[in-house]
Amino acid sequence: MSMYNFNSGPSILPDEVLQQASEGVLNFNNIGLSILEIGHRSDWFVEVMEEARSLVKELMQLDDSYEVLYLHGGATTQFMQVPINLLDENETAAYCDNGIWGSKAIKEAKLFGNVHIACSSKDQNHTYIPKELSVPQHVNYLHYTTNNTVEGTQWHFIPQANVPLIADMSSDIFSREISFSEFSLIYAGAQKNAGAAGVTIVVIKKDILGKIKRTIPSILDYRNHIEAKSLLNTPPVFAVYVSMLTLRWIKKNGGLIEMEKRANERADLFYETLDSLDAFEGKVDRQDRSLMNATFITKNPEHEKLFLDECKQNGMVGIKGHRSVGGLRVSMYNAMPINTVQALCDLMKDFSNKYADALYKTI
């Protein structure tokens, strides 16, 4: 039976990357050693790290005023590392409260300074993206989550404010062409579109650093990681390697222009199917739907388990919604071929037809 991977993260990787990574585990670049056992300061790995960092800048079309880091701790650590580097205790940062990850970032920022809520979608359970923001000019920065993996919303515009812009791009990085140079700091866990779990990409405009008074622990100071070229301590070697291979794959397959084209094709196919069926309905305002993570429900709650059972029987995994919101979720990242989405859409059509009569008896 074929398997179809709709997991939200760790998630689908390109077959080519999986093959190359598996070869590297056994014999990295034919040197007779595994990627898992080479020294992180050896020329072999330094070349991997430098290529990975260079590819990030190339894909984002950024100049040398930016530095790229590969760090431990996931995006969750960045919730803390951003304010500890950029916010003194008597200062204020603005945050967009648009979902579970934005809320967690706000909670951490409050440990280091004041937080101004620039906008919030809490009034409608984070099912839309606010279009108007309140950003005082005295704040140190504005932070937002570009794509909300749990709730299924996505910012389809870059919020404008005359302050440094910080973005958590964990679930839509490298999926579309945007003006990355408008951001002062970008971070993302690699395990959606940029590689395997275990490493976080951080892109920093260097002039944002060194402006606060607090003493920053050495391992948390971005400047130390920049000076050490992401080798301040032992990095997650294999995760960096898989990220490099994934970025190579993105470049080889047309870069961000092609990734965005494919993302739109997958999302259009799925949402057109969703909107045409009686058994299902979306949870998010149509204009704010995510191209990466589609959230939806069965109109009859009793049908949810039946649908998930049918998905399982057909080799479709990762469709159950996040535990905090329930429902259903389909994640469609860069490596997902269109035929995988088509297979799910066909199953949804068959399911809707099968249970149409039962549905109408309950509404």
39 Cβ neighbours under 8 A, 6+ residues apart: 45
In the chain, what is the greatest distance between 2 CA atoms, to the nearest angstrom?
A: 68
Contact status, residue 192 vs residue 171, Cβ threshold 8 Å? yes
Q: Cα separation of 355 and 352, whole Å?
A: 5
315 Cβ neighbours under 8 A, 6+ residues apart: 1, 2, 3, 4
* Closest C-alpha to 328, from 288, 353, 354, 300: 300
Q: Cα separation of 222 and 187, whole Å?
A: 12
Q: Cα separation of 313 and 307, whole Å?
A: 10
* Closest C-alpha to 207, from 85, 108, 59: 85
Environment class of residue 215 by beta-carbon count within 10 Å: exposed (0-12), middle (13-18) or buried (19+)?
exposed
> Active-site residue among 97, 155, 172, 192?
192
**Residue listed under structure tokens 């071929």:** 337
Annotated catalytic, 206? no
**DSSP, residue by residue, 70-111:** EESSHHHHHHHHHHHHH--TT-EEEEEE-SHHHHHHHHHHTT
Contact status, residue 28 vs residue 38, Cβ threshold 8 Å? yes
Q: Cα separation of 72 and 281, whole Å?
A: 38
* Closest C-alpha to 190, from 202, 182, 181: 202
Contact status, residue 240 vs residue 201, Cβ threshold 8 Å? no
Annotated catalytic, 168? yes
Q: Which two tokens stand for residue 363?
A: 């509404």
Q: Cα separation of 146 and 93, whole Å?
A: 17
174 Cβ neighbours under 8 A, 6+ residues apart: 59, 193, 194, 247, 250, 256, 259, 334
Annotated catalytic, 346? no
> Active-site residue among 168, 172, 221, 288?
168
> Active-site residue among 101, 155, 221, 283?
101
Q: Which residues participate in catalysis according to the annotation?
A: 101, 168, 192
